[in-house]
Chain A
Amino acid sequence: MRPGAASDAIWLGASEMVHIKINDRDVDCDANLRVLDVALKEGIDIPTLCYNPFLDAVRTARCRMCLVEIVAGGKPGVQSSCALPVSEGLAVLTNSKAVYEARRMILELTLSDHMLDCRKCATSGDCTLAELCEEYDVDGVPVCSECRNKRGGCLLSRGEMCLGPITRDYCSAFCTNSGYRCGGCCTLSSSRSVLRYGVKQYMDMGVPLEEVRKAASIFSSREIELLDEVMQELEGGVKA
Chain B
Amino acid sequence: MSVREMKELEDIASRGAKKIKPEKPMLVFGAGTCGVASGCGDLIDFAREYLKSKGIENEVILTSVGCNGMCHAEPLVDVKLPGRVRLTYSSVDVDKLKRIIDEHLLGGQPVREFALAQLTEDPSPLPYGRVDGDDPYEGIPSYKDLPFLAGQRRIVLRNCGIIDPEDMEQYIARGGYRAAFKALHEMSPETVIDEVKAAGLRGRGGAGFPTGLKWELCRKEKSDEKYVICNADEGDPGAYMNRAEIEGDPHSLIEGMIIGAYAMGATHGFIYVRAEYPLAIARLKKAIAQASEHGLLGKNIMGTDFSFDIRIVEGAGAFVCGEETALMASIEGRRGEPRPRPPFPAQSGLWGKPSNINNVETWFNVPVIIELGPKWFSSIGREKSKGTKVFSLVGKINRAGLVEIPFGTRLKEVIYGIGGGVQNGKGFKAVQTGGPSGGCIPTDKLDTPIDYEGLTAIGSILGSGGMVVMDEDNCMVDVAKYFLSFTSDESCGQCVPCRVGITRAKEITERISKGMGRKEDIALLEDLARQINRDSLCGLGQTAPNPILTTIKYFRNEYEEHIEKHRCEASVCASLFSAPCENTCPAGTNVYGYIQLIVEKRFDEAYELNKEDNPMPAVIGRICEHTCELRCNRGKLDEPIAIRELKRYCADKTIAAGKHATAKMLDDVGRKVAIIGGGPSGLSAAYFLRRMGYDITVFERMHELGGLLRYAVPEYRLPRSVLDREIDDLLALGIRAKTDCRVGSDVSINALINDYDAVYVSIGCQKNRNLDIEGEGLPNVYSGLNLLERINTGTLPDLGKEVIVLGGGNVAIDGARSLRRLGHSVTIAYRRTEEDMPAYKEEIRAAKDEGINFEFLLVPEKIVDRGNGTLGAIFRKMRTEEYRVDGKLAITPTESTVELKCNSVVAAIGQELDVSQAFSEKNTIGKNNLIQVDEQQRCLFSPKVFAGGEAVTGPKSAIEAIAQGKKAAENIDVLLSGGERYERLRALREEIKYRMEEPHNEERMKRETPIELSVPERHDNFREVVKVLDDEKAVREARRCLRCDLAGGE
**Which positions in A face B, CB cutoff 8 Å?**
60-64, 67, 74, 77-80, 83-85, 87, 98, 101-102, 105-106, 109-110, 112-113
Q: Is the CB of A113 within 8 A of B500?
A: yes
The bracket for how many chain B residues form the interface is 10 to 19
Q: Is the CB of B500 within 8 A of A85?
A: no
Q: Which residues of A contact B496 (CB under 8 A)?
A: 62-64, 106, 109-110
Q: Which residue of A lies closest to B325 (CB)?
A: A60
Q: Is the CB of B535 within 8 A of A85?
A: no
Q: Which residue of B lies closest to A103 (CB)?
A: B535
Bound-complex Cα distance A110 to B337 (A)? 20
Among the interface residues A78, A83, A84, which one has the most CB atoms of the partner chain B within 10 A?
A: A83
Q: Which residues of A contact B342 (CB under 8 A)?
A: 74, 84-85, 87
Q: A79-B340, A101-B531, A102-B531 are in contact. Are A61 and B500 (CB under 8 A)?
A: no
List 12 interface pairs A-B (beta carbons < 8 Å), by A numbering. A60-B537, A62-B495, A64-B495, A64-B496, A79-B340, A83-B339, A83-B340, A105-B528, A105-B535, A109-B497, A110-B496, A112-B504
Q: Is the CB of B504 within 8 A of A80?
A: no
Bound-complex Cα distance A83 to B337 (A)? 15
Q: Is the CB of B537 within 8 A of A109?
A: no
B127 contacts A by Cβ under 8 Å: no
Bound-complex Cα distance A101 to B580 (A)? 43
Bound-complex Cα distance A63 to B498 (A)? 11
Bound-complex Cα distance A106 to B495 (A)? 10
CB 8 Å contact bits of B531-558 with A (1 = contact, 0 = none)? 1001101000000000000000000000
Bound-complex Cα distance A177 to B632 (A)? 44
Bound-complex Cα distance A110 to B500 (A)? 7
Q: Which residues of B484-503 are within 8 A (CB) of A?
A: 494-497, 500-501, 503
B107 contacts A by Cβ under 8 Å: no
Q: Is the CB of A78 within 8 A of B534?
A: yes
Shortest B1032–chain A CB gap in Å is: 49
Q: Is the CB of B339 within 8 A of A60?
A: yes
Q: A80-B537, A98-B534 are in contact. Are A106 and B340 (CB under 8 A)?
A: no
Q: Which residues of A contact B343 (CB under 8 A)?
A: 85
Q: A61-B340, A74-B342 are in contact. List 19 more A-B contacts (CB 8 A).
A: A60-B339, A60-B537, A61-B494, A61-B537, A62-B494, A62-B495, A64-B497, A64-B535, A80-B340, A83-B339, A84-B340, A84-B342, A85-B342, A85-B343, A102-B534, A105-B531, A106-B496, A109-B501, A109-B504
Q: Which residues of B contact A102 (CB under 8 A)?
A: 531, 534-535
Q: Which residues of B contact A84 (CB under 8 A)?
A: 340, 342
Number of A-B residue pairs at CB separation under 8 A:
59
Q: Which residues of A contact B528 (CB under 8 A)?
A: 105
Shortest A142–chain B CB gap in Å is: 15
Q: Is the CB of A67 within 8 A of B535?
A: yes
Question: 10 closest pairs, A vs B, by CB?
Answer: A109-B500, A83-B340, A105-B531, A102-B535, A61-B340, A62-B494, A106-B496, A64-B495, A113-B500, A109-B496
Shortest B323–chain A CB gap in Å is: 13
Q: Which residues of A contact B504 (CB under 8 A)?
A: 109, 112
Bound-complex Cα distance A37 to B601 (A)? 82
Q: Which residues of B326-373 are within 8 A (CB) of A?
A: 337, 339-340, 342-343
Q: Is the CB of A60 within 8 A of B534?
A: no
Bound-complex Cα distance A101 to B535 (A)? 10
Among the interface residues A60, A74, A105, which one has the most CB atoms of the partner chain B within 10 A?
A: A105
Q: Which residues of A contact B535 (CB under 8 A)?
A: 64, 67, 78, 102, 105-106
Q: Which residue of B lies closest to A80 (CB)?
A: B340
Q: Which of A60, A106, A110, A112 makes the CB contact (< 8 A) with B494?
A: A60
Q: Which residues of B contact A83 (CB under 8 A)?
A: 339-340
Bound-complex Cα distance A109 to B340 (A)? 21
Bound-complex Cα distance A78 to B340 (A)? 12
Q: Which residues of B contact A87 (CB under 8 A)?
A: 342
Q: Which residues of A contact B500 (CB under 8 A)?
A: 109-110, 112-113
CB 8 Å contact bits of B513-545 with A (1 = contact, 0 = none)? 000000000000000100100110100000000
Shortest B568–chain A CB gap in Å is: 21
Q: Which residue of B lies closest to A69 (CB)?
A: B534
Q: Which residue of A lies closest to B533 (CB)?
A: A77
Q: Is the CB of B497 within 8 A of A60?
A: no
Bound-complex Cα distance A84 to B343 (A)? 9
Bound-complex Cα distance A112 to B534 (A)? 19
Q: Is the CB of B537 within 8 A of A64?
A: yes
Bound-complex Cα distance A87 to B347 (A)? 14
Among the interface residues A63, A109, A113, which one has the most CB atoms of the partner chain B within 10 A?
A: A109
Q: Is the CB of A60 within 8 A of B501?
A: no
